[in-house]
Amino acid sequence: MSNSSADASNSPFQPFENALDRDLALRHLQDATNGADDGELFIERRKSEMLSFDDGRLRTASFDASEGFGLRAVKGETAGYAHSTTVDEHSLKRAVATARLAVGDGGGTLAGGPAGTNRKLYTDKNPMDDAGFSVKVDLLREIDDYARGLDPRVVQVSATLAASLQEVAILRPDGVLVTDIRPMSRLNVSVILEEDGVRESGTTGKGGREGLIGLMSPDHWKSAVQEAIRIAAVNLTAEPAPAGVMDVVLGPGWPGILLHEAIGHGLEGDFNRKGSSAFSGLMGQQIAAKGITVLDDGTLPDRRGSITVDDEGTPSARNTLIEDGVLVGYMQDRQNARLMGVAPTGNGRRESYAHAPMPRMTNTYMLGGDTDPKDILAGLKDGIYAVGFGGGQVDITNGKFVFSCTEAYRVKNGQVGAAVKGATLIGDGATALKQIRAIGNDMDLDPGIGNCGKAGQWVPVGVGQPSMLIGGLTVGGSAA
């Protein structure tokens, strides 16, 4: 039986026909989880392709294929996990012996399986089949030529086209089989402009759980090149950023990465169960300004962070984390949900079969308000307008963050002035949530470029937010 969006009988990925006998695999899984609280057999096949064009030539053309399984048995706070690149009974039997080390003498009560779903959030089609190799190379070359012809200041162009297909089968101890087929594609364009001996870069990208066709259309890639050149040109004219405590207006969409890092991680179940989050023990309390509502939603069609089911077989959901400023929920996998006495939320994710699942974000965003973004800027007397972000660092235990701006502007008396470079935003998530003074009506999601790291594992995610005014952030800059 199956409770997923893509039944195993229709999937080209057939591990229980080609590699393992399903009944035999189930018996081994049941042996591993006898006396445990939970567990599963996760089998994965993944194919990926990446082509990179840099400095007028094809620099990288790679294709990767992998397959393997991970077997897990959970008892209390302990989990036994074993994985193998070989999907056969011999490897599975060895994995059972390892996983059972966490179960010991048993005594656990096996948790019930996840609810079923038949929805489809994305296509089953392999995006790598959308175009031939030579067509993809020609497109990257055309992007390079177009960028250089668009602006004589362009001295370097980098373009990357990537696609992958992940197929998973999750067998649970009660015999339920959950499957999912997850496509992904992405196009990135970066340029470097030089003027009077000064060089600046601009980068843009787009992607999602869809084919390459839309990304390869001239309307899309030409606008991507134009945007990358625009960002680089803005930074060529930028002045050194000021330093000090000031009000900051964040733009919509991708600046939600600050929300993701400074707040989102602190709302994951494991950090709160262990008491290591800045938001631990605050359930039901006002932790943000009135009007702030934050969601984690894995059900958005075709989005980069969306998953029909998580990597434990639980259907993804639209989970409210903060409602009108009040903390109302955490993101949970099955283990942490059980230990905290709540329901799983469909946030049990893993990088691959070689990794155990943990609570992770999907698409995390703040809902829009009712203020016109122009009015928000008009009310900014002296501060920064930040619309693009690069790297950042966050301490989960206290929520303190440091983020670098890739595109920002000085604002005085409501007027957006010169671009500034070298600006960093410094603060802590808990305080920043309470210092939000205006929320725009322009909520937007990022273009599909996000990756999230946690405990050495990387998964694709989405972020989003409306324009907003945050008071009293520390801005690090280099202006005298």
pLDDT per residue as tens digits for the range 62-77 = 999 999 999 999 999 9
Tell me, what's the pLDDT at 398? 87
- Residue 435 — left, alpha, or beta (φ > 0 → left; ψ -120 to 50 → alpha)? alpha
Tokens encoding 130: 């959308």
pLDDT of 10 > 50? The answer is: no
pLDDT of 3 > 70? The answer is: no
- Single-letter amino acid, residue 466: P
What is the enclosing helix (H) or strand (E) of 141?
A: helix 133-150
d(CA 392, CA 402): 5
For 97, residues 6+ apart whose C-beta sits below 8 A from its C-beta are none
Tell me, what's the pLDDT at 9? 35
> What tens digit of pLDDT does each residue of 81-118 get?
999 999 999 999 999 999 999 999 999 999 999 998 98
Q: Which of 351, 357, 296 is nearest to 114 (CA)?
A: 357
Longest dimension (CA), the chain: 73
Tokens encoding 170: 């999750």
Q: Which of 38, 129, 119 is nearest to 76 (CA)?
A: 38
For residue 457, count other CB atoms closer than 10 A to its CB.
17
What SS3 state is found at 354? coil
Q: Which of 358, 97, 69, 408 is nearest to 239 (CA)?
A: 408
User: Nearest 5°: phi and psi at 306?
Assistant: -80, 150
Q: Which of 60, 305, 303 is nearest to 159 (CA)?
A: 60
Contacts 24+ apart (CB under 8 A), 282-286: 282/327, 283/327, 283/328, 283/330, 284/326, 284/327, 284/328, 285/326, 285/327, 286/325, 286/326
Tokens encoding 428: 């802590």
Confidence of residue 154 (pLDDT cuts 50, 70, 90): very high
pTM over 0.75: yes
Q: Using alpha carbons only, give the angle 280, 281, 282 rounded to the nearest 5 degrees.
A: 95
Answer yes or no: CATH 3.30.2290.10 is held by domain 15-236. Answer: yes
Share of the chain above pLDDT 90, in %: 91
What SS3 state is found at 251? coil
d(CA 313, CA 241): 47
CB-based contact 269:396 (threshold 8 Å): no
d(CA 33, CA 268): 26
pLDDT of 213 > 60? The answer is: yes
Confidence of residue 392 (pLDDT cuts 50, 70, 90): confident
For 186, residues 6+ apart whose C-beta sits below 8 A from its C-beta are 160, 161, 162, 163, 205, 206, 207, 215, 448, 449
- Residue 282 — left, alpha, or beta (φ > 0 → left; ψ -120 to 50 → alpha)? alpha
For residue 152, count other CB atoms closer than 10 A to its CB.
10
pLDDT of 4 > 70? The answer is: no
Residue matched to tokens 């907003």: 468
Confidence of residue 241 (pLDDT cuts 50, 70, 90): very high
d(CA 2, CA 42): 14
* Portions of the chain given CATH number 3.30.2290.10: 15-236
Tell me, what's the pLDDT at 71? 98
What SS3 state is found at 243? coil
For residue 119, count other CB atoms closer than 10 A to its CB.
12
> What tens digit of pLDDT does each residue of 300-343 get?
999 999 999 999 999 999 999 999 999 999 999 999 999 999 99
